Amino acid sequence: QWVEESDPELFARIKERIAEGRWQVVGGWWIEPDCNIPGGESFVRQGLYGQRWLLDRFGMIATTGANLDSFGHNASLPQILRRSGMDSYVFLRPKPDENAELPGPLFHWEAADGSRILAYRIPHEYCAPRDDLGDHVERSLATLPPDLDELAVFYGVGNHGGGPTKANLRSIAALNESGDDSRLELSSLRRFFDAVADEEVPVWRGELQYHAPGCYTTHSGIKRWNRRAENLLQRAEKWSVVAAELGAQAYPLRALSEAWQLLLFNQFHDTLAGTSIEPAYEDARDQIGHASSIASLAFNRAVQSIARQIAIPPEERTWPVVVFNPHPWRLTTEVELEYNWLTEDGVHMVDADGAPVPLQHTRSLTTMSSNRSRLVFPADVSPLGYRVYRICTGATDATPSTSGGTTIENEHVLLELDASTGRIARLVHKESGADVAAPAAKHAVVMHDVSDTWGHGVTAYDQEAGEFEARSVRLVESGPVRSLLRVESRFGDSVLREDYVLAADAKHVDVNVVLDWHERLKLLKLRYPTSLESPRVTLETPYGHLEREPNGHEDPGQSWVDVSAGGRGLAVINDAKVGYDVRGADIGISAVRSPVWAWHDPRELEPDGDFDYMDQGRQRFRVRLVPHAGDWRTAGVVRLAAELNQPLFAMLESDHDGPLPSQSSYAADGGGDVVVTVLKHAESGDGVVVRAFETAGDAVQATIELPLLDRRIEADFGANEIKTFLVPRDPAEPVRETNLLEL
């Protein structure tokens, strides 16, 4: 793309070489991303935009995926690649010394749904910067299994600039004239995979790990920017579809595509891993920020265009509020809203029918005049729908809270914190009576971390340096909507504030974390110890889930991890972190680490060196604690995680006429094991695309209601299957399943 934009003449020559068959199109993605950190939909979009660009420019798509330098590869990739038109995959990491269990360089890689691709691990390296390739070829040939006659050897300058050199080509010719039995042929990946397609090779099921596990915590900022942008874009697409189909505005396809492509570019493996030089993150911040801004603007335009079509009759001394649900399932949860309205006799809240709604005031985000206020109330909104509420003058009697001291509780959950340490003393799932907490166990633990920026050579962070010590544990809020316990603690020069929030009807506890970090060569683990024995560990992966061993190893994950045993368990969800461990029955979130910027071993840090350390300063993120009976499926953890990352949205509105009712719903996935994640306009512009995946690991029949389009989708989903549907604009045309490229 950049060549096309900056040097059209060179781009024309490249097209000629591809047409001649001298250049092979491989990869098929927008960029070579980190293959663990992005969400599932990002991997879909890598192929959607990459393959469609190749098809548009060269009349073909790539059939071989290539992520040569990515540090690990999630277990869902065979399904995503296969449904993006690719049947083979080439990678380098993990190398044999990083994962000796992989069955050789060539194997069938199988996803949890049964999709298979032929995968090849490059021997030795993906480049050979020296002119003479003799040593490189010899080391590569040493890896050739006895039952294979073909080996794909990469050469050329490769990493950090350049391809094959003339000297490389002369070296290949000389090696072929040396009289050795082996023969070197200038070839292509397609020829290689075709040559080995009929070989009897083993099958590998699961992820390809581990290399450089520290990078899943390095640079908290870009991890949060990425997660936020992914969710803003998916939210914007859903509500932009609704607005367009209601005739409120045109669908911003070009703008949203541009935003996705900016985000995908910054998912490049060194960038998203946090291992680039510091100035690179100024560019990444700006570009991901621009993508987020486009998404936020599209969403706000969509919901405002819908809100102004809602019939909201005038009522004196009231202020309408419209709450939007970004998910295709009913969502009942608290919403915060800042407002500016001076009234001496207080306010209360009602729904559109005049029924009272609990309301509680909380601290305003400003320190302005007394007429500025912030309130929190429970909203109950239909699937992918909206609902009108009203702020009214006149206070009502508040329902007393059952919380007090260092304990907060409701009908479903009880949380007690130790008054002196701030640690969790009890976390009770009331329906089952299960207390999942391990009392007196450490929580905010600081680890020594002398590894480089990547975390090369790290298996686990287990060398303890100390623990944050509580300075204050107190009840800050207690009312009809929620209770809030605040723990403030310190370690060295760093300050940690954790607000434990329990809403009146919630089955989980949210923790709002503010961390002001000023340590060097340290890592902070937020540990959530449990009383479970020999638990089963499950965590989220892109468009899937995976079981891991509770061995304390540092692992990449997505937004949730769960431990379950004996009919009870605890899930820990977050909105910004991807590094985890589970040690015994204790879940650990890697909250922050502070190596030197872009420091790669074996370089050692001079004792008197002048270095800049990463992640210094203030950051915010949220954690959700879900004690439960059964396992993570019973607790609905997949949907709870989506709700944390895409919460309800409330906006102040005015009185006006309109054709829309006070509440409505536009899509519903039934709330079962099949979760709809995407609703967007087709890239062709001719219809709406719906994407869903099976979350529990069981085959199931699903029904997706689309009242917005007067359609219904009924489909059989295999275990862990991702499905994409195209709903044509012409109602006479049937809904059809399509691939991830919408082709």
CB-CB contact of 127 with 156 (8 Å): yes
Q: Residue 352 is part of a domain; what is its CATH number?
A: 2.60.40.1180
> 342-354, pLDDT tens digit by residue?
667 789 999 999 9
Residue 82 is assigned to a structural domain of this protein: yes
Residues 180 and 70 both lie in one domain: yes
What is the rounded average pLDDT of the residues 395-412? Answer: 79
Alpha-carbon gap, residue 162 to 192, rounded angstroms: 23
Residues 381 and 449 in one domain: no
Residues 697 and 731 in one domain: yes
Q: Three-state DSSP class for 315?
A: coil
Interval 325-377: pLDDT, tens = 999 999 999 999 998 876 677 899 999 999 999 999 999 888 876 678 899 99
Residues 691 and 737: their CA atoms lie apart, in Å, by 10
Residues 428, 576, single domain; the answer is yes
Please indicate, yes or no, whether residues 280 and 149 belong to a single structural domain of this protein. no
- Write out the DSSP string of 516-582: EE--SSEEEEEEE-B--SSPEEEEEETTEEEEE--B---EE--SEEEEEETTEEEEEEESS--EEEE
Residue where a domain terminates, one of 178, 211, 244: 211
338/244 same-domain check? no
Question: Which domain, by its residues, includes 688?
Answer: 667-743
Asked if residue 79 and residue 53 are part of one domain, the reply reads yes
| Whole-angstrom distance, CA of residue 592 vs CA of residue 594 | 7
Residue 217 in domain:
no
| Paired tokens of 348 | 């209360």
* 528 domain-assigned: yes
Does pLDDT of 406 surpass 80?
A: yes
Q: Read off the tokens for 412.
A: 């479903």
* CA dihedral over 542, 547, 550, 551, signed as positive or negative: negative
Is 281 a residue whose pLDDT tops 60?
yes
What's the pLDDT tens digit per position in 79-138? 999 999 999 999 999 999 999 999 999 999 999 999 999 999 999 888 887 888 899 988
Residues 175, 41 share a domain: yes
Distance of alpha carbon 26 from alpha carbon 67, whole angstroms: 10
Across the range 484-492, mean pLDDT stands at 99
Give the model's pLDDT for residue 590: 99
Number of domains the chain contains: 5
- For position 189, which CATH number holds? 3.20.110.10
Model confidence pLDDT, tens digit, residues 134-184: 999 889 988 888 889 899 999 988 877 778 889 999 999 999 988 777 789
698-724 per-position pLDDT tens digit = 999 999 999 999 999 999 999 999 999
Query: Are both 573 and 689 inside the same structural domain?
Result: no
Same domain, residue pair 478 and 570: yes
Give the ranges where 614-712 is alpha helix by DSSP (H).
Answer: 632-635, 637-645
Question: Is the pLDDT score of 400 beyond 70?
Answer: no
Same domain, 128 and 233: no
* Closest C-alpha to 561, from 677, 641, 458: 641
CATH code assigned at 458: 2.70.98.30
- Mean pLDDT in residue range 64-76: 97
Query: Is 659 a member of any domain?
Result: no
Whole-number Å distance between alpha carbons of 417 and 423: 6
- Is the domain of 339 the same as that of 291? no
Quote the mean pLDDT of the chain: 96
| pTM passes above 0.85 | yes
Domain boundary pick from 309, 344, 366? 309
Of the three residues 211, 237, 261, the one that is the final residue of a domain is 211
Q: Residue 637 to residues 405, 502, 643: CA-CA distances in angstroms?
A: 29, 17, 10
In a domain, 643, yes or no: no
Q: List the beta bridge partners of residue 447.
A: 464, 523
Q: What is the pLDDT of residue 181?
A: 72
